[in-house]
Amino acid sequence: MYQYSRAIYRSIKNLIDPYVDPETQLEYRRAVLEECEQTMERLAADPHYFARPDRALFADIRRYFPITAQAQVAWAVGEGVGAATSFIEQQIEAGLLDGGVSRCHATTRKGKACQRTPLPGRDYCPSHQHLEQPVAA
């Protein structure tokens, strides 16, 4: 996920408040990068329950930017988080990422991945448990 947090950071780092002293500027950059990374980590770990991640990130970092740059920062954050969100959704659909919550491995009759929670320690939900490979004795 770091390619996405880096991309967001790169797109906004030059907008960070230019009127603070160099030391503060450096501190602001570190803080912005850290917030971007935390947002991406949370998004990857909990994509179904992280509502409006772009707004959350913007709210966390907007204080590091001058008023005149806010609209541009909000736009860049929206674009970057949007790209990360669609990447995560593709991964979940492809079954490469379970979205932090395990899902039944079965495919429904409509050809979609089953969204039910598997039985504890199993790969399938109660409706699909017959698909579980029998354990060799």
In sequence order, the 6+-apart residues with CB closer than 8 A to the CB of 23 are: none
In sequence order, the 6+-apart residues with CB closer than 8 A to the CB of 56 are: 39, 50
Q: How far apart are CA 84 and CA 127, in angstroms?
A: 32
Q: Closer CB to Zn ion, residue 42 or residue 116?
A: 116
**Total number of residues binding Zn ion (CB under 5 A)?**
6
Minimum distance from residue 75 beta carbon to Zn ion (Å)? 40
Q: What is the dihedral of CA 115, 117, 98, 109, to 10 degrees?
A: -30
Helix (H, G, I), strand (E, B) or coil at 113: strand
Rule CB under 5 A: say whether 114 interacts with Zn ion: yes
Span of 46-54, 78-86, 95-103, 113-121 interacting with Zn ion by CB under 5 A: 113-121
Q: How far apart are CA 17 and CA 66, in angstroms?
A: 5
Which x/- pattern over 69-108 shows residues binding Zn ion (rule: CB under 5 A)?
-----------------------------------x-x--
Q: Which of 20, 116, 122, 132 binds Zn ion (CB under 5 A)?
A: 116
Minimum distance from residue 121 beta carbon to Zn ion (Å)? 15
Minimum distance from residue 129 beta carbon to Zn ion (Å)? 8
Q: How far apart are CA 50 and CA 48, in angstroms?
A: 6
Question: Interface residues with Zn ion (CB under 5 A)?
Answer: 104, 106, 114, 116, 125, 128
